[in-house]
Amino acid sequence: MAPLDSKQYDLFGALQAQDDRTWPCASDTRRPFITGNAHEIVLGTTRLGDCLTQAGQRTPSVLARLLEQQDWQAFERRYAGTGRAPDLPRQLMGQILYGVMQGVRSLRELERLARLDLGCMWVTGDVAPDHANIGRFIVLHKNLLKAGVLRKR
């Protein structure tokens, strides 16, 4: 092992820890998020919202309205302004909450739910992130989720 004062050790001394780096966040750069629009989803000739209403399914629309009333800036600031556009935090949180309300607790089942369940499609705007992106969202925002930072706008 090299002594601490060796030149090889000094090569790494100037590197910052990854969490200490400052990245431009998506909200600062006005970079768009991947979003969907539930009002554009049509089944045959009927809009999805009308289908859910006719079936007596109120949960998706109530959850979607609740999510739209929240301030998501703390979540949006956690994303870098470069690279692939991230999924909209509101929609990912909606997918997770809707899944929990349906008794789903597996990331793969949450992914499946977003692709097959009409209520979940309404909440997410028909955006269906895979299980890995859902997991990354939870890990990235675990402190915000624990702290309960969501507040009405």
Q: Give, as one character, the DSSP assignment of residue 44.
A: T
Mean pLDDT for 125-133 is: 93
Q: What is the pLDDT of residues 64-118, one digit of tens each?
A: 999 999 988 888 888 877 788 888 999 999 999 999 999 998 999 999 999 999 9
Residue 9: band (very low, low, confident or very high) from pLDDT cuts 50, 70, 90? very low
Mean pLDDT for 121-135 is: 94
Cα–Cα distance measured from residue 23 to residue 82, given in angstroms and rounded to the nearest whole number: 8
Q: Return the percentage of the chain with pLDDT > 90, whole number.
A: 56
The count of other CB atoms within 10 Å of the CB of residue 8 is: 8
Domain ranges of the chain: 23-147
> In this structure, what are the phi and psi dihedrals at residue 53, rounded to the nearest 5 degrees?
-65, -45
**Which residues are CB-contacts of 84 (< 8 A; sequence separation ≥ 6)?**
none
Predicted local distance difference test score (pLDDT) of residue 130 = 93
Residue 27: band (very low, low, confident or very high) from pLDDT cuts 50, 70, 90? low
